[in-house]
Structure 1
Amino acid sequence: MRFEEYVNDHFDALNETEKLIVDFILKNRLDVVQMSISELAQKCLVSKSSVFRFSKKIGLDGFNQLKFVLRDEQGTIRQEPQTNFLEATTQAVTNATQQFQSLKMNDIYASLHKANDIYIYSTGWEQEIISEQLQRNFFLTGEKVYVLPAAVDELNMALQRMKPDGSFNGHFV
């Protein structure tokens, strides 16, 4: 099985630290094969035990098996230079569909549709960019969405203007 399959099978159980480890491995998989657990932990700015727990959480016996999987993929990649992009794309769409179905997205969409107002709070600049795009997408569906500022003081001011029924007394510019 490929590294991505191990991660996808256990993605919902991963915390933010473990997702950072995944991101580093995906970007540096050739280097990770040569690293010790200490080196990987240092590069990811996490503890050795975090790397070990991550390996166990995605269904491997430990860090050595993680390296074996990555090394085995390198051999497979060298042996299969021809990629069937249509099949890979179809599989990716199928995997994404299965993941959305497992998350019971219909319940989330129904809740959003029933809401009078939707508030989005971002905790950093990347999340703020995503929040603004999400607000534009909701606008196209006719939903009222408010993007709250990431700064705590501004959030407290906004919370004072919110009504118990979820409506907002005021407007954002």
Structure 2
Amino acid sequence: MTLEELITDHQKKLGDLDKVILRYVLNNKEVVSQISITDLAKATYTSKSTILRLVRKLGFAGFSEFKYFLKASVKKEKAPTEMFSELQLADIIQTIKGLEHIEWEALTDHLRNASTIYCYGTGFTQRKALDEFAKNLLQLGKRALTIPNKTELDMAMEMITKDDVVIIASLSGETENIKENLFMWTLKNVPVMSITRFGENTFANHADFALHYKVTPFSVFKEKKVESLVALAVVVDYIFRKLTESMLEK
């Protein structure tokens, strides 16, 4: 299991200080795997006791065990591989395993009872996946709208109410110009479902339902990294299947 997956599994236990520390760790894995707990506390302006509580929330006995885990993670990430098909399979398997932790009954109840399901993707691939999802929902008699861009999303804000559901798909979950929309949905009690890559992020933290997909970058050429979002399509299809099962049961 990766650090991003651990964070996802334990996200409900994490406080604001925990997230500050984890952001630093995620951006500096190799450095953190070599430094002391005192150095990490100084770097994150926290305390040793706060860091100890955090690593225990993640399932580690202490900081030394956490550092060993980080070292192994860094070594694994650096390991070269040409088995791109195996990476794809691993991403899909980890994604499906992560979906086992979702409260599906509550999620499907919201979708089933929603007046309108609004879908927004922050990038081209995300929009395409949600567009197919919205088309499939029509087969279930559900009203779904895919919003194509930020301008139209802002125009639709007044129409979106607590009787609807918003589904937002992103890679990072940190798209700046969407955070203001997310804040307004929270104020209006609009149910929000986020679909982002594994790990702690703003969209997941503020969503009523946070779903995640695994993305393992791989190098095609020396300096060229590719991030395949095939696992995003798996999540979207999984949601549709779960909703279909729920509607057939009712």
* TM superposition score normalised by structure 2: 0.42
Q: For residue 35 of structure 1, what is the amino acid of its counterpart?
A: I
User: 1:41 and 2:56 equivalent?
Assistant: no
Question: How many angstroms does 1:37 deviate by?
Answer: 1.5
Q: For residue 31 of structure 1, what is the amino acid of its counterpart?
A: V
**Number of the residue aligned with 2:145:** 139
Question: How many angstroms does 1:9 deviate by?
Answer: 4.6
Structure 1: 5+ residue stretches without partners: 119-128, 160-173
Whole-Å separation in 2 of the counterparts to 1:28 and 1:103: 29
Question: How many angstroms does 1:5 deviate by?
Answer: 5.1
- Percent identical among aligned pairs is 25
Whole-Å separation in 2 of the counterparts to 1:60 and 1:90: 28
Question: How many angstroms does 1:58 deviate by?
Answer: 1.3
Structure 2: 5+ residue stretches without partners: 135-143, 148-158, 167-180, 190-250
Whole-Å separation in 2 of the counterparts to 1:2 and 1:149: 28
Whole-Å separation in 2 of the counterparts to 1:65 and 1:38: 15
Matches within 5 A, 1:94-173: 94-116=93-115, 139-140=145-146, 145-146=160-161, 150=183
Q: For residue 33 of structure 2, what is the amino acid of its counterpart?
A: V
Q: Is contact 2:116-2:145 (8 Å) kept?
A: no
Q: Which has the higher helix share?
A: 1
| Structure ranking higher on relative contact order (CA contacts 8 Å, 6+ apart) | 2
Would the alpha carbon gap of residues 150 and 66 (structure 1) be closer, same or farther in structure 2, given more than 3 Å must change?
Answer: closer
Whole-Å separation in 2 of the counterparts to 1:140 and 1:2: 33
Q: Which has the larger radius of gyration?
A: 1
Question: How many angstroms does 1:30 deviate by?
Answer: 1.1
RMSD: 3.8
